Amino acid sequence: MNTRIRHHLRTLQDLLQHAIDSQSEGLVRAAQWITAALTRGNKLMLMGNGGSAADAQHIAAEFVNRFLLDRSPLPALALSTDTSILTSIGNDFGFEAIFEKQVLALGLSGDVLLGISTSGNSPNIIRGLQAARSKGITTIALSGRGGGDMVSWADLALIVPSDQTPRIQEVHAFMGHLLCELVETAMFSSASGGSVHV
């Protein structure tokens, strides 16, 4: 058991080092886009399936409530939380449409949509990103493996180079926390000057 624990911790350490080396500029850009959207009165929408749905809800909660600073609530919405909407759309149009229809109904030009998929190939995530593009919504992908098909529909892709779903999710959670901290600091910390830098 100790050997297995050490192996997983080393794997996670390597993936986090890769994130430091290759994803920092993308994370800054994503934080800047989200900050700009929230500052002008737009919102952040998030979508994911399974564990990625939990990540979407977790990130949304940090924005609406607080992360590290006591500050005004920020508008963020996880599209995986309304069971009546999800089951209605799923029943009538199929599971692939559950995010697409919500983006078309709730999304406005200037919003940001963050799609989370460890495979990058979830059909409902891809259709949500496609719907966002049709409405002038900025799209960000959190993916794993090689990025998958969702990368083609995202304005920015943050990819964890692993084929192990748990490890991808762990780094996604780390990236989600970084985005929360960067946006919160940019918007509410007087020391930040209202901007995010590399």
Average pLDDT over residues 136-158: 96
Q: Supply angle C-alpha 55, 35, 161, rounded to 5.
A: 45
pLDDT of residue 186: 97
Evaluate if pTM is beyond 0.85. Answer: yes
Report the number of distinct structural domains present in the chain: 1
Q: What's CA 153's distance to the chain center, in Å? A: 14
User: b/e per residue, 150-179, with b = 16+ CB within 10 A?
Assistant: bbebbbbbbbbbbebeebbbbbbbebbebb
56 is a domain residue: yes
Average pLDDT over residues 45-56: 98
54 is a domain residue: yes
34 is a domain residue: yes
197 is a domain residue: no
- Res 36 pLDDT > 80: yes
pLDDT band per the 50, 70, 90 thresholds, residue 20: confident
Share of the chain above pLDDT 70, in %: 95
198 is a domain residue: no
181 is a domain residue: yes
What CATH number does the domain containing 112 carry? 3.40.50.10490
- Res 56 pLDDT > 80: yes
59 is a domain residue: yes
133 is a domain residue: yes
- Note down the domain range covering 164: 2-192
CA distance 165 to 160: 10
- Find the range with the poorest average confidence among 5-14, 66-75, 186-195: 186-195
pLDDT of residue 195: 54
- Res 192 pLDDT > 90: no
